[in-house]
Structure 1
Amino acid sequence: MRQSTMAFRVMTNSTLAPKTDTQASAQSHTSANSQANDKFKALQAMGAGEFAHLNGSLIEHLSSTAQLLRKWQARTVLCDAGLYHAAYGTAGFDEKMLSLAQRNDVAILIGKEAEAIVYLYCSCDRDFTFSRLGTSNEIQFKDRFTANTFNLSQQQAENFCELTVANELELVIASD
């Protein structure tokens, strides 16, 4: 497993002149693209491109999953989580870019909420959780790292399910 040190940049905007709505919209779009690019570059620095995945490299899969979520107009935090969704390994892909001890580093990079989605996705004991889907109104979840079981909140369930569908669909699309 490759461990890497992440470098973080603080970006500032020194322009103080008022902006028109068009300028503000263009800057917001450029800023969002720049932030996404920085997150992608950090993922590359962690060595995601060095891991083989079912249909190519892990970085291609992670990037394509995040792009699919963006196409669906998912919340930004879910798109960011999609880019890092296998950072700690998963029950189906046990290679790890990062150790759980680096969760705070990931949270600094993509935000606490996105990192919490990444952890939830990576920690899923799929045999336990998937076998219980549809058996009740709530999703019973088992954390494979801690063996704790609990019911997902509505927001956790939505994030987990949407990310799971994006992940699985990306695998199908990439296999063509």
Structure 2
Amino acid sequence: MSHRDDVCAWLRERGTETIAHPGGTLYAHLCRVHDLLGTFGHGGDVRLAGLTHAAYGTDGFDLALLDPCDREPLRALVGADAEQLVYLYGACDRRRSWPDLVTTRHLVDRFTGRVETLAPELLRPFVDLSIVNELDVLVHDPTVARRYGDYFRSLFATWAPVASSGVTAETRRLLARSP
């Protein structure tokens, strides 16, 4: 069994195949994000972060598979680097972090209220994970695309200088079709 298979089994044990999410289930969404990150050239740690990005819940999906105060179980499953990215993704207060993220690298932790400064090597993986996640939701839920398409077009344009070129191209392609 591969590491990915172990993580998928862990996700299924937590009921992700029964949790509704645009495009079917949370499990299907997590697998698509993992695969898309690989398509855009990310390695194992970022892909595993994509596969487990909802473990602590997110600012946009408030269902947690684990308590964010107990990070060791996920760290043991996916490794320290992937878990760190998952924590940052789940902890991100989007309203207060996303608009200036590229210029400040500041992320407001919605769990603690503290401001974290993303290390330069974490900025691209964080941005790519955030974009890929939202693109998957937009593709699978036209109402979200209609409601937030303009917002994401604008936001992702400001993130383009640090996003992977493939992610930026896919963003332009998908959001050009979006209402």
Q: TM-score range by the shorter chain?
A: 0.7 to 0.9
Q: Which of 11, 21, 24 in structure 2 is aligned with 1:56? A: 24
Paired position in structure 1 for 2:76: 108
Cα shift at 1:150:
2.9
Q: Distance in 2 between matches of 1:44 and 1:101?
A: 22
**CA separation of 1:157/1:47 partners in 2, compared to 1, >3 Å: closer, same or farther?**
same
Q: Which of 118, 124, 127 in structure 2 is aligned with 1:152? A: 118
Paired position in structure 1 for 2:93: 125
CA-based RMSD of the aligned residues comes to 1.6
Which structure's CA Rg is the greater one? 1
C-alpha contact (below 8 Å) 1:68/1:170 kept by paired residues: no
Paired position in structure 2 for 1:35: 3
Paired position in structure 2 for 1:21: none
C-alpha contact (below 8 Å) 2:46/2:82 kept by paired residues: yes
Paired position in structure 2 for 1:70: 38
Letter in 2 for 1:141: L
User: With structure 2 as the length reference, what TM-score do the two structures score?
Assistant: 0.74
Letter in 2 for 1:81: A
- What is the 5 A alignment of 1:131-146? 131-133=99-101, 136=103, 138-146=104-112
Q: Which of 158, 163, 166 in structure 1 is aligned with 2:129? A: 163
- Structure number with the higher helix fraction is 2
Cα shift at 1:119:
0.2
Q: Distance in 1 between matches of 2:124 and 2:30?
A: 19
Cα shift at 1:38:
1.5
Tell me the percent identity: 34
Q: Deviations over 1:94-115 (max 9, x none)?
A: 0111112441011111111100
2:76 equivalent to 1:90: no
The unaligned stretches of length 5 or more in structure 2 are 143-179
The unaligned stretches of length 5 or more in structure 1 are 1-30
Higher relative contact order (CA 8 A, sep 6+): 1
Letter in 2 for 1:172: L
